[in-house]
Amino acid sequence: MTPELVDSHCHLDFPDFDDERDAIVARAHAAGVTRMVTICTRLRHEPRVRAIAESYAGVFYAAGTHPMSAAEEPMATVAGLLAIAQHPKCVGIGETGLDYHYSADSKDLQQTSLRLHITAAQESGLPLIIHARDADDDMARMLTEGMRVRPFACVMHCFSSGAALAQTALDLGFYLSMSGIAAFPKSDALRAIFAAAPVDRILLETDSPYLAPPPYRGRRNEPAYTAFTAKAGAALYGLDAAAFAAQTTANFDRLFPRARLARSAA
């Protein structure tokens, strides 16, 4: 039997999928990816992301303002995020975070936005979905400060930062999400960070349409390719495919209880 997998982070609303969304979801199911979380990165697009989640039994969604869009979009409000969080298929807050690689000039706006999203996660009880790039020190500080105010759940999506930020996240009780980057041939340093992390804190994702793992690297990614990242992850932890799939699925259910409850009710 094909092991059950979850793609915890994809972007099914992106135009890359407009012509074949039904086929994309069908291929995911055929590959064992029974559930997906499609991520809204600009709040004005939330209605269409929500509609996609409503259209497929195994698709859920999360909403927030991506840090690279923080200077282009109206500032999120806690009240607005909490209103979105009421929808039964909304399972997370974000993605949000800090990206100083491409958008360092908006770092102050990014930090303001991140604080608002942290508050929304704290008040809603939904997990925070974090994007971090070239901002390890500020990210570690802000997440730690937020936890001191009030605990919240969190996943470091598509984790590709340094070992110190990984350890901070794990010490805070957070999860690290493994994308196709972890399967790239030159990602030895990143694989070492994942190998040092407890397997019960690991999620799988595609971040599709980006970052396709081998053998599809350089092409459009899609949720079905979660299986290739899972294969790399299983080898990293010395587990067979079924055991690693079961563990990462259990981790997802623990972090995203609303998706777990919906699955139980199906």
Residue spans of the domains in the chain: they are: 5-265
Residue 35 is classified by DSSP as: E
Q: Using one digit for the tens of pLDDT, what is the confidence trace for 101-144?
A: 999 999 999 999 999 999 999 999 999 999 999 999 999 999 99
Look at residue 261 in the predicted model and tell me its pLDDT.
76
pLDDT band at 263 (very low <50, low <70, confident <90, very high): low
CATH architecture of the domain formed by 5-265: Alpha-Beta Barrel (3.20)
- Residue-averaged pLDDT of the chain: 96
pLDDT band at 265 (very low <50, low <70, confident <90, very high): very low
- For residue 9, which amino acid is it? H
| Residue that has been written with the tokens 């595609």 in this structure | 206
- The answer to whether residue 264 scores a pLDDT higher than 70 is no
Do residues 177 and 204 make contact, with C-beta atoms less than 8 angstroms apart? yes
pLDDT band at 2 (very low <50, low <70, confident <90, very high): confident
Q: Which residue has the higher pLDDT, 19 or 261?
A: 19
Averaged pLDDT, 210-215: 97
Look at residue 266 in the predicted model and tell me its pLDDT.
43
Distance of alpha carbon 151 from its chain centroid, rounded?
19
Tokens of 205: 């994702």
Q: Are strands 59-63 and 33-40 parallel, antiparallel or unpaired?
A: parallel
Give CA separation, 219 vs 182, 209, 212, in Å.
16, 9, 6
Exposed, middle or buried: residue 238 (CB in 10 Å: 0-12, 13-18, 19+)? exposed
Look at residue 1 in the predicted model and tell me its pLDDT.
67
**Can you name the residues that pair with 90 across neighbouring β-strands?**
61
Do residues 211 and 191 make contact, with C-beta atoms less than 8 angstroms apart? no
Averaged pLDDT, 143-169: 98
> What is the Rg, in whole angstroms, of the alpha carbon atoms belonging to the chain?
17
Reduced to 3 states, what is the DSSP secondary structure of residue 132?
A: strand
E strands, 149-201, in order: 154-156, 175-178
Q: Using one digit for the tens of pLDDT, what is the confidence trace for 71-103?
A: 999 999 999 999 999 999 999 999 999 999 999
Look at residue 121 in the predicted model and tell me its pLDDT.
98
